[in-house]
Amino acid sequence: MSTPEFITVIGGGLAGTEAAWQIAQRGVRVRLHEMRPVRKTPAHTTDKLAELVCSNSFGADDVTKAPGLLKHEMRALSSLLIECATEATVPAGAALAVDRDVFAAAVTARIESHPLIEVVREEVTEIPAGIVIVASGPLTSPALAADIARRSGSEHLYFWDAIAPIVTLESVDFGIAFRASRYGKDAATPEGEPEAQGDYINCPMTKDEYYAFIDALIAAETAALREFELAEKDHFFEGCLPVEVLARRGRDALAYGPMRPVGIRDPRTNKRPYAVVQLRQDNVAGTLYNLVGFQTNLKFAEQDRVLRMIPGLGSADFVRYGVMHRNTFINSPTLLNPTLRFRASENGDPLFFAGQIVGVEGYAGNAATGLLAGINAVQALRGQPEIVLPQTTMLGALCHYVTHCEPKHFQPMKAAFGIFPPLENPSRDKRQRAEAYSARACADLERTLEQHPELRA
């Protein structure tokens, strides 16, 4: 293999932009391909890089929570995406949530202004020669997907992703709805004092209101699937199930899921409601709120009818209805090494995969795999050993899981302590176990950074 002049990254989403940034920050030229706006996708609405289409939350930011630990590791590895997310933060209790437009604009500006990154707006229909990172995401174009399938010699797996509706703040009826976070755990102000109002808007339901809503939800008509999607209609990812699918599993499923009322007290009754729908701020201005956990594939007219049954949303202005689209991921346990390198490329041009296409879930997980793939692409370019992060770190555990899971039962995975190697002397207390996992991960990552200074850009 001759030494290339640049590394190719396919896909301008979270994984692709993070990979491109890590490569460029190490002094290597990058050619970043993004097919939008030349070719549109069913979910994106702009031509910005790193556009968020499902939720505006990166999840918990507490280092003793699995998503928070992953973001801590990404900060230690100089992640561009986490830096931009921090700049675009909107209130969301203990979670890291962003204004979508501000976030995407920040990432786009940083990528397009980097002197070593060339952004090419065109569709890639086959993987080119040289060192390549495929981060084309869950909406990989059919032509590129066909080339990946040809190279892998195996069929793709599919699952479904659904997007939650968004309403305007001014259309919420605060004679019914109220602000509060569960157990009063709100975001801190700059002075360190908790917000008095609460970061979430809560729409409380009585038992009768809940069951009337569930019955309407179950009976509502869903959007028709396209012909090529029909064979895969039952392959939903558990972490992003449409709300109507959950409701059909049992009339109490939502009351124990996204509508669980634990930690919430209705100020009108001073009692816990039977169920609650929470709304989370979606933009910096605080004018838009999304329905937490309410991803849906109901027809728009049905959403307009059924969702107005939620107390406080009877006159809601829906600026975006929920939609559902097919996501594509490869069978990574049969195809990838823990460095995210395609095994079949060991004796040829290095080929890496990153992001949701490898079977990781969550914004941070997608970006984090792009970060590692970018680092290892540079290692391959320079003839240096590729880096495998310890399984005791969250990113290392994620990469190990997607490359070592039983192939026949492989499903996408998000950051979770359950994929960690067991602790030597685990506590019976869940909180103490989480703290122990986190402490071990932080210590092992620090040792790894000392052993591999090339991990630092």
Fold match between 6-156+330-455 and 166-325?
no
Q: What is the pLDDT of residues 231-278, one digit of tens each?
A: 444 455 566 678 999 999 999 999 999 999 999 999 999 999 999 999
User: Of 165, 163, 161, 204, which Cα lies nearest the Cα of 305?
Assistant: 165
Dihedral sign of CA atoms 253, 241, 273, 301 in order: negative
Please give the CATH number for the structural domain made up of 166-325: 2.40.30.260
Topology of 6-156+330-455 in CATH? FAD/NAD(P)-binding domain (3.50.50)
Query: How much is the average pLDDT of 110-117?
Result: 98
Q: What is the pLDDT of residues 210-243, one digit of tens each?
A: 999 999 999 999 987 554 444 444 455 566 678 9
Query: How much is the average pLDDT of 358-387?
Result: 96
Instruction: Count Cα atoms within 13 angstroms, Cβ side, for 205.
Output: 25
The residues, ordered by sequence, that sit 6+ positions from 92 with a Cβ below 8 Å of its Cβ are: 57, 187, 199, 200, 280, 281
Q: Could you tell me which residue, 225 or 5, shows the higher pLDDT? A: 5
pTM: 0.80
Residue 137 to residue 411: CA distance in whole angstroms: 16
Residue ranges of the domains in the chain?
6-156+330-455, 166-325
What does the pLDDT read at residue 229? 47
What does the pLDDT read at residue 189? 38
Residue 405 to residue 331: CA distance in whole angstroms: 10
What does the pLDDT read at residue 180? 93
